[in-house]
A and B are shown apart, each in its own frame.
Chain A
Amino acid sequence: MSEDPGSTAEYYDVDDVEKAIQALSKAEHVRLRHISLDRAQVLDSYPDQIAPELLAEAVLRTLDGRRRWRKGVDFLYHLDQAMRSIANSWCKRHTETSLGAEPEVIVALAEKEFEAGQEWLLRSEPRQDHVLMRKERLKWIRAAFSDDAEASEVLEGWAMEMTGPEIQETSGMSKKTFEAAARRIRYQVVRSELDRGV
Chain B
Amino acid sequence: MVFKKSEAEIELERVLDRIAESIFSATDEEILEDARAAGEDPESVAREQKALVLSVIQKHRKTVLAVARQKYEQQASRIRERSCNLPETEEGRLELLVAALQFRPGLENALTVQHREFKSLSDQDVESYLRQFEELGVLAALKRSKSDD
Q: In the complex where A38-B20, A77-B24, A182-B22 touch, is A30 in contact with B13 (Cβ < 8 A)?
A: no
Total count of chain A residues near the partner, CB < 8 A: 60
Task: Tell me which of A18, A29, A96, A159 contacts B57 (CB under 8 A).
Answer: A18
Which residues of A have CB within 8 Å of B64?
1
| A-B CB contact pairs (8 Å), 10 listed | A24-B50, A30-B49, A34-B23, A34-B31, A55-B52, A56-B55, A59-B53, A135-B8, A185-B19, A187-B38
Least CB distance from B6 to A in Å reads: 6
- B binding-site residues for A, Cβ under 8 Å: 1, 3, 6, 8-9, 11-20, 22-24, 26, 28-32, 34-35, 37-39, 42-43, 45-46, 49-50, 52-57, 59-60, 63-64, 67
Closest to B11 in A: A159
The answer, among A14, A95, A139, A185, for a CB contact under 8 Å with B22, is A185
Determine whether the beta carbon of A29 is less than 8 Å from that of B49.
yes
Q: Is B22 touching A186 in the complex (CB atoms < 8 A)?
A: yes
Which of A's residues lie within 8 Å of B, judged by CB? 1, 14, 18, 21-22, 24-35, 38-39, 41-42, 52, 55-56, 59-60, 63-64, 76-77, 80, 84, 92, 95-96, 99-101, 116, 134-139, 141, 155, 158-161, 182-183, 185-187, 189-192
Neighbour of B34 across the interface among A25, A28, A187, CB < 8 A: A187
Q: Is the interface of A mostly helix, strand, loop or mixed?
A: helix
CA distance A183 to B60 in the complex (A): 36
User: Given known contacts A38-B16, A39-B20, A60-B59, is B11 in contact with A32 (CB within 8 Å)?
Assistant: no
Q: Which residues of A contact B12 (CB under 8 A)?
A: 41-42, 134, 137-138, 141, 159
Known: A26-B43, A134-B12. A34 touches B34 (CB 8 A): yes
Tell me which residues across on chain A come within 8 A of B31, comparing CB atoms. 27, 30-31, 34
Q: Report the bound CA distance from A86 to B105 in whole Å.
A: 55
Collect the chain B residues with CB atoms within 8 Å of residue A59's CB: 53, 56-57
Report which residue of B3, B23, B49 has the largest number of chain A beta carbons within 10 angstroms of its beta carbon. Answer: B23
Kindly state the separation between the CA atoms of A1 and B60 in the bound complex, as whole angstroms. 10
Given that A35-B20, A185-B22 are known contacts, is A63 also in contact with B57, CB under 8 Å in the complex?
yes
Closest 8 CB pairs of A and B: A27-B28, A29-B46, A29-B49, A159-B11, A158-B18, A26-B46, A63-B60, A59-B56
Residues of A within 8 A of B17 (CB): 84
- Compute how far the CA of A60 lies from the CA of B24 in the bound complex, rounded to whole angstroms: 22
- B15, A138: Cβ atoms under 8 Å? yes
Contact B19 A63 (CB under 8 A): no
User: Once the chains are docked, how many angstroms separate the CA of A138 from the CA of B16?
Assistant: 9
Query: From A21, which residue of chain B is reached at the shortest CB distance?
Result: B53
The residue among B14, B45, B53 with the most chain A CB atoms within 10 A of its own CB is B53
Taking CB atoms, residues of chain A closer than 8 Å to B34 are: 34, 183, 186-187, 190
